[in-house]
Structure 1
Amino acid sequence: MATADPVGGSGQPLLVLGKIGEILDAFSLDRPSLTLGEIRDATGFPTSTVQRLVTNMVALGFLDRQGDQVRVGVKMAYWAAPAVKGVDVLDLIVPVLKQLRDATGETAAFFRAEQGHRVCVALAETNHALRREMHVGKIMPLHAGSASRVLLAWDDSLARSVLSQPLGSITDSTITSADELAAVIKQTRADGYAITIGEREQGASGLSAPVFKANGELAGCVTISGPTIRIPLDRCLEWLDLLVESAEHATRLLGGRFPTSTATI
């Protein structure tokens, strides 16, 4: 018996599949729920098309409806799980880092918290001759730098452990007060990112954003870093959207989701 061809005669995906993809792409971690009007605005589709496709996508589990809002269906997480099963997380993260490095010209890295320290576990290094020293496996303290702030902001138990210990001074800008560090950790979680200049290394800047697993736990953080002479504060601010979008893309590749709980420190 003949079956429907998922692509057209030209080898292109069926138009309806492209439209479904565009609707799903309209959702993001900072906009997980949308109205039909917001989907229409994001996709440019006619209202009737949005209504018809959303109704069918809800029926199939692609989307869930909550009042006048719709969001990506919980069933999608079930379908996504096999996609990352057996795939090394770093195999998914490294291409994101390379794209970020190519877009900014600066080093992009992925950090995790391990045994009370932060560790560089993946790297796309800048081509500039003047660069910060960074390598895979490098171990750094967890109380200094933008990556450390992010790793602590979404791990309450780790943050409490770090805050209960002496905070050594690394540069003149290192935070050594537990109360002050607790405040910036809280602010990092509220902002969804961190920017630091000269906190871990004099004359160096960094900006970091979180990446999450499917259960909402922190997988690590994506960081752009380099000499402050090339990355002053205004450049950090200029790259924030790109950074956060890259971290969100990494979260999606992992089948992850943004946590709904709030920090308790």
Structure 2
Amino acid sequence: MAKIGVDAVARALAILKAFGPERREMTLTELATATDLYKSTVLRLTATLEEGGFVTRGDDRLYRPGPELWRLGTLYRQSLDLGDLVRPTLHRLVDATGETASFYIRDGNQRICLYRVNSPRAVRHHLDEGQRLPLNRGAAGHVLAAYGEGTGASRKKVLAQGYYVSLGERDPEVAAAAVPVLDGQGKLRGALSVSAIRSRFDARAQKLALTSLKLEAQALVGLLPASEA
């Protein structure tokens, strides 16, 4: 009986997860297709979800997310400490690359190092949290500008490849790679970056950094609540 209960919950959650920015409303058939469940199963589960306020069904017979999800989402946003999500990410990046990892946000024409974990190496690129840097130089700056409201020359390139690598742009001895951090609705929340002494940030190191950055940024998509802006 316990296993049946767990399966039922998993199927109900699959129905809720089927909704998204591109699928805000669905028919019974579409829900069944999206979840790979029988229509009869979907119908039974949605009846319970509708009773609890997790889904609604309009006169047009379309299913939509219900108000209870908004209430729970609001509670999650209010209790969320961004640092609790980002700091473990930075530690994993340092472990994977051996270099300094940081998370930047944009503030006007500058970027702020909101969180960072410095490399354990004796010779390293050292950053302090709260440090302000220019937006038009450096990997994270180019990413924030491109995915924000920037119109710089690098914007098309950054958007096309989904990352930026800088070699001595801001400091001739420093190199970095950065990727955007987006929430579930595709809104820019910041930029993840790995920075190093330029002499050891060769093609192999760049590839490792970018692979690690992309994996961590993608993992954050599922953890960050959608921005209200």
Would you call these one fold, judging by a TM-score over 0.5? yes
Q: Deviations over 1:12-59 (max 9, x none)?
A: x9366678889999xxxxxx89xxxxx99xxxxxx889xx78x968x8
Q: Structure 1 residue aligned with 2:192, among 209, 222, 241?
A: 222
Q: Does the CA contact (< 8 Å) of 1:81 and 1:255 recur in 2? A: no
- Output the CA distance in 1 between the equivalents of 2:168 and 2:155: 17
- Cα pair distance change 1:143/1:231, threshold 3 Å: same
Are the equivalent residues in 2 in contact too, given 1:212–1:251 (CA < 8 A)?
A: yes
Residues 1:109 and 2:99 aligned together: no
TM-score, length of structure 2 as denominator length: 0.68
User: Is the aligned partner of 1:212 residue 2:187?
Assistant: no
1:232 aligns with 2:202: yes
CA deviations over 1:75-117 (Å, ceiling 9, x no partner): 8777544223232322321121112222222111000111321
Contact 2:119-2:126 at 8 Å conserved across structures = no
Which residue does 2:160 correspond to in 1?
190
Structure 1 residue aligned with 2:171, among 181, 198, 201?
201
Please tell me whether the aligned partners of residues 111 and 220 of structure 1 are also in contact (alpha carbons under 8 angstroms): yes
Q: Which residue in 1 is equivalent to 2:219?
A: 249
The percent identity for this pair of structures is 26
CA 1:125/1:23 → structure 2, altered by over 3 Å: closer, same or farther? farther
For the Cα contact (< 8 Å) 1:117–1:139, is it kept in 2? yes
Please list, as runs of the form range in 1=range in 2, the aligned pairs for 1:23-34 lying within 5 A after superposition: none
Which is bigger in relative contact order (C-alpha 8 A, separation at least 6)?
1
Deviations 1:145-180 (A, max 9, x none): 110111001112xx24xxxxxxxxxxxxxxxxxxxx
What is the TM-score of this pair, normalised by structure 1?
Answer: 0.60
State whether structure 2 residue 70 is matched by structure 1 residue 100. no
Gap regions ≥5 residues in structure 1:
1-6, 26-31, 34-38, 41-46, 64-72, 161-181, 258-265
Question: Is this contact kept in 2: 1:77–1:255, CA < 8 A?
Answer: no
Q: Aligned-pair distance for 1:234? A: 2.7
Aligned-residue Cα RMSD (Å) equals: 4.2
CA distance, structure 2, for counterparts of residue 241 and residue 77 of structure 1: 34
Quickly say closer, same or farther: Cα 1:131–1:16, change in 2 above 3 A.
Answer: farther
Aligned length: 210
